[in-house]
Amino acid sequence: MLAQKFSRYEIQEELGKGGMATVYRAHDPLFEREVALKILKRDLIDDPHFRERFERETKIIAKLEHAAIVPVYDIGRDNDQMFFVMRYMAGGSLAERIQKRSLSLNEIAHILRRIAAALDYAHAKGVIHRDLKPGNILFDEDNNAYISDFGIAKITQTPSKLTSSGIIGTPTYMSPEQAQGETVDGRSDVYSLGVILFEMLSGRAPYEATTPLGMAFKHAVDPVPNILKINPNLPAGVDAVLKKVLAKNPDQRYESGTEFAEAFIMTLPDPLTPAPNLLVPLTPARLQRRAEALTMHPSTDVPKPQTLPRFWILAGLVVIVILAAVFWGQSGFASTGTASTPSPEPVTVTVAPATSTPLPPTATGTSTATSEPSPVPVAPGIGGAVRIALTANRDIYLMDMDGRNIRQLTNTNIPKFDLQWLPGDRELLYGEGKCVYRVDAETTNPTPEKIACFNGEFFEGFRISPDGKWVAISIERRLIVLPYDTQALAKASSAFELQNLENVCLDYTDVAVRGAQWSADGQKLAIVYQTIVGQRLGQVIRVLDVDLVRCSKFDPLILDEFPGKRFVPEGYETYPLIPSYAWDGDGRFLFNSFKRNGGYGELYLYDMPTASGRKINPVEGACCYRGATFSPDGTYILFAFQDIRKGADSETQLYYIPIDQIDAQAVFAPIRVPVRFFPDVRENILFALQMPAQ
């Protein structure tokens, strides 16, 4: 802990200390954010029971992806101490709020419903918390409740125990069966949630004792106190709900957390009654908080517009007119964005505002270094492509293969994901926020058309099969494959509704899926999924053989998985991330490691038939690359490049080069685009190559 630093994390203050670990508020300089850093105590590192408990906690949290479960950012070991990093919860704990006696029925109902849904999600995954208590329910800055500390959670399929007695938990909130060391299921957590509700409503726990054994005895034998005698102002039906949820026999309790929460809410008075403590509809807070290191597409939260006085609106219009006149006198983007340093830590940049004006095909400005080769025009049709669709400044553009005739297709200034041409190569499909759109690239004034929108925190992928008949949707960290029917998709708004549509072929939940790509024959899928790599949370690519004829009758066959088992890319042990990858649809993959600017790194080529991978770095062997993709015929590759050798002077360039000349030490020229066409050096640039019309 010297110099208040652990691993790369800068310690700010101690948040709490438990029997097995200490929690700190820390700063992560790599992603410039506050985090909660939990470190196993040094004197326990040699104890196999405690070490197993800590390792179990990190692995279980990594498997749970829910809007009301505290997300984990990093896992590792440093200086012979194990640690993991979670989102920092700035709103304190439920224990603190109960102590202040500041909770209304409205707030209690909101907390109960949210935590109950998270428990049901974990139970469906086979995970039991086993230590649910007010101290393990934390709040963010928007007062949303989250469950934390799954350190003593138990995978129900695993029969082994961590201690000789197998009894782990906090006696005040422990179910009778857990206190007696019996086998427990999700109803034990529901019991604990009932104890927490009792405490929120009354300010005290239902049972009090001076010893853990005495407390366990009361839970097992004593009747549930009548809460109306403690707080007579509560609705009459609350006591019956609490007696059921706190029943000694699990079979007499509510079957799920949601059933319990809804039963409690039904006891509350009509929301329209103008009493001060009644349940009223709550405006949902924005829940999406992206962790840059683990995100396949950027956060889509857009600042809410501010209402301005009329005078300032008029003044702003005058300024816009003046700036527009200046803009037309120049070419290319105006930008205040700064380039990066060669450090593996991303830099902070200022993003230039989006413009709705189509960009000119050429630009004047700062010239490139004389040592670089002059750009050579790329003829249409080379590599089987005629035009490039790409993202820049968080919008979609279309240009010729040599960078000429640039045309802007969208004007939302919102990050995109899964940019792709639909069959026929006339319409582009892409994801934006929680919706999917298509836009006709051949019209003069293209207007994006919304296809479908999905609720939930994680909607990260939407890929159409080459024949246009199927779609692979990555949602809530699962992969759902079903027919591409826009009318049916428009009626579904969640993963649950998608999996209940007709003719669903695959609902793949074996791993936490972050995205997918189809093979050329439409019979295979390459998914990228989140898992533990070494001692850190990382990403792996898995290739699946999907039977689209027999579909759900057969599980997909795993054909390959890399990197890690096959080879270890440079820096993968430190940052086991795959910021971008591309498949030629047959046996070759391009992907880059994580090194700088939120996702640029070394470029690798992986060959499935030989199960071998190698670093290729085609631009003079230098780093760094992102977004590399194959041409339609697989003979060329297109990628974004930032020359790490130039440090702060590095800018984003595009290259389209023949793949068979990479090993010949050829000198390649970049595609000419307007100066500062990519003002944000951390932007995830997407590519989609258009094939000639058939």
Annotated catalytic sites, by residue?
131
Residue 233 DSSP SS3: coil
Reference 472, options 508, 512, 427, 419; nearest CA is 508
Burial group, residue 190, by CB count within 10 angstroms (0-12, 13-18, 19+): buried
Spatial separation of the C-alpha atoms in residues 72 and 294, rounded to whole Å: 10
Spatial separation of the C-alpha atoms in residues 173 and 185, rounded to whole Å: 15
CB 655 within 8 A of CB 619: yes
Residues 110-141 as b or e (16 or more Cβ within 10 Å = b): bbbbbbbbbbbbbbebbbbbbbbbbbbbbbbe
- 3-state secondary structure string, 338-398? CCCCCCCCCCCCCCCCCCCCCCCCCCCCCCCCCCCCCCCCCCCCHHHCCEEEEEECCEEEE
Q: What are phi and psi of 401, to 5 degrees?
A: -65, -25
* Contacts of 444 by beta carbon, 8 Å cutoff, 6+ apart: none
Q: Residue 465 corresponds to which amino acid? A: S
Spatial separation of the C-alpha atoms in residues 131 and 64, rounded to whole Å: 16
Spatial separation of the C-alpha atoms in residues 44 and 17, rounded to whole Å: 14
CB 248 within 8 A of CB 220: yes
> What is the pairing mode between strands 478-483 and 470-475?
antiparallel
CB 150 within 8 A of CB 57: yes
Spatial separation of the C-alpha atoms in residues 621 and 623, rounded to whole Å: 7
- 3-state secondary structure string, 469-491? CEEEEEECCEEEEEECCHHHHHH
In which residue are the tokens 């230039």 written? 352
